[in-house]
């Protein structure tokens, strides 16, 4: 089962604390404090108003732990598909605190379910191809680890987390560093032991990059014929051969055709930058 790892949990704790501080601003929940008796307990059901894939229950739990609420809960398992009208989870505890955490909990839950849901649609399109679906750094500032957690829940895979854990030489780097092969050689010298990937946009650029033996080549915005040609050339090379990642404008309608060219992975920025939120409500009962 997919779960928050230790670094995800650190980020989730920071995100939840900041979101609650933004909502409460030191004054607290004026409405709930005025209208709900402190000792009153109730139940809240998280109900789906659209179809989707479950992601984010541990984050909702963290919201209520941060509020020091004595809460119990039951949840849909992470990664399970649900239909409109499904009860995704139930929380029981102090009614006032359930309401205080409602908006922060829903904002995060709806966002993460949205990312997982769109990711699952891409994964379903790739079924049987053996091609890996990757995310990108096109994430909401401050929410990267949680959004990428949701990608994993949806069945996708995480690419580099940031600028610090992988060398990815892109077009603007090449504008300053020279030809792809030259840039790869320099990066290998400066970053020994680190995975090196270089972006190219033409078959000629691909052949030049391969002269320096990168670990990965990112085939950016290439047509299907060019992708097939790069795969053919790569497969004819002696080892070590680079892994091939296709990227650039890939949609649900085109992802399977891109995968059919024989690339190893397809990266899709839309998983995180264009995923619509899944509509979910919290329905309270005494």
DSSP letters of 139-195? Answer: --TT-HHHHHHHHHHHT-B---SSTTS-EEE-HHHHHHH-SHHHHHHHHHHHSTTS-
pTM, entire model: 0.96
Q: Is-catalytic flag, 188? A: no
Position 1 scores a pLDDT of 61
Q: Which of 65, 84, 170, 211 is catalytic?
A: 170
Q: Which two tokens stand for residue 239?
A: 């080892």
Q: Of these residues, 220, 234, 245, 264, which one is catalytic? A: 220
Residues 41, 43, 121, 138: which is the catalytic one? 138
Is residue 220 among the annotated active site residues? yes
Residues 136-180 have pLDDT tens digits of 999 999 999 999 999 999 999 999 999 999 999 999 999 999 999
Packing angle, helices 6-24 and 144-154, rounded to 10: 120
Among the listed residues 102, 135, 199, 245, the single catalytic one is 199
Task: Identify the bridge partners of residue 248 per DSSP, sorted by sequence position.
Answer: none
Q: Domain residue spans in the chain? A: 6-115+276-285, 123-273
Between the CA of residue 21 and those of 26, 111, 150, 194, what are the distances in Å? 7, 19, 24, 39
Does the active-site annotation cover 147? no
Pick the CATH number of 123-273 from 3.30.450.20, 3.40.50.300, 3.20.20.70, 3.40.50.12780: 3.20.20.70
Q: What angle do CA 123, 125, 112 make, to 5 degrees?
A: 35
| pLDDT at residue 6 in the model | 81
- In angstroms, what CA-CA distances link 58 with 89, 147, 151, 171, 269? 11, 13, 15, 39, 25
At the topology level of CATH, where does 6-115+276-285 sit?
Answer: Aldehyde Oxidoreductase; domain 3 (3.90.1170)
Question: From the candidates 41, 87, 103, 137, which is the catalytic residue?
Answer: 103
User: Do 125 and 255 touch, CB atoms closer than 8 A?
Assistant: yes
Burial class from Cβ neighbours inside 10 Å (0-12, 13-18, 19+) for residue 87 reads middle
Low-confidence ranges of the chain (pLDDT < 50): none
Each residue of 68-85: pLDDT tens digit? 989 999 999 999 999 999
């Amino acid at each position: 089962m997919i779960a928050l790892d230790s670094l995800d949990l650190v980020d989730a704790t920071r995100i939840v604390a900041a979101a609650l501080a933004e909502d409460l601003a030191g004054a607290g929940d004026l409405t709930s404090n005025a209208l709900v008796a402190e000792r009153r307990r109730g139940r809240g059901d998280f109900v789906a108003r659209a179809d989707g894939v479950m992601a984010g229950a541990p984050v909702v739990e963290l919201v209520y732990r941060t509020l020091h609420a004595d809460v119990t809960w039951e949840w849909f398992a992470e990664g399970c598909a649900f239909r409109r009208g499904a009860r995704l989870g139930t929380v029981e505890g102090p009614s006032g605190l359930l309401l205080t955490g409602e908006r922060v909990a829903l904002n995060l839950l709806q966002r993460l379910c949205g990312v997982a849901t769109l990711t699952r649609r891409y994964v379903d399109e790739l079924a049987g191809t053996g091609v890996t679906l990757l995310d990108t750094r096109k994430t909401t500032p401050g929410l990267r680890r949680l959004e990428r957690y949701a990608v994993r829940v949806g069945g996708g895979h995480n690419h580099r987390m940031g600028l610090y854990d992988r060398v990815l030489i892109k077009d603007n780097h090449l504008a300053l560093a020279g030809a792809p092969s030259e840039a790869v050689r320099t990066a290998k010298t400066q970053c020994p032991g680190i995975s090196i990937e270089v972006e190219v946009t033409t078959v000629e650029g691909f052949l030049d990059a391969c002269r320096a033996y990168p670990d990965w080549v990112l085939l950016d915005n290439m047509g299907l014929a060019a992708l097939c040609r790069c795969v053919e050339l790569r497969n004819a090379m002696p080892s070590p051969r680079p892994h091939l990642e296709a990227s650039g404008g890939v949609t649900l309608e085109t992802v399977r055709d891109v995968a059919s060219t024989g690339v190893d992975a397809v990266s899709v920025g839309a998983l995180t930058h264009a995923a619509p939120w899944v509509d979910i409500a919290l329905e309270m009962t005494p």
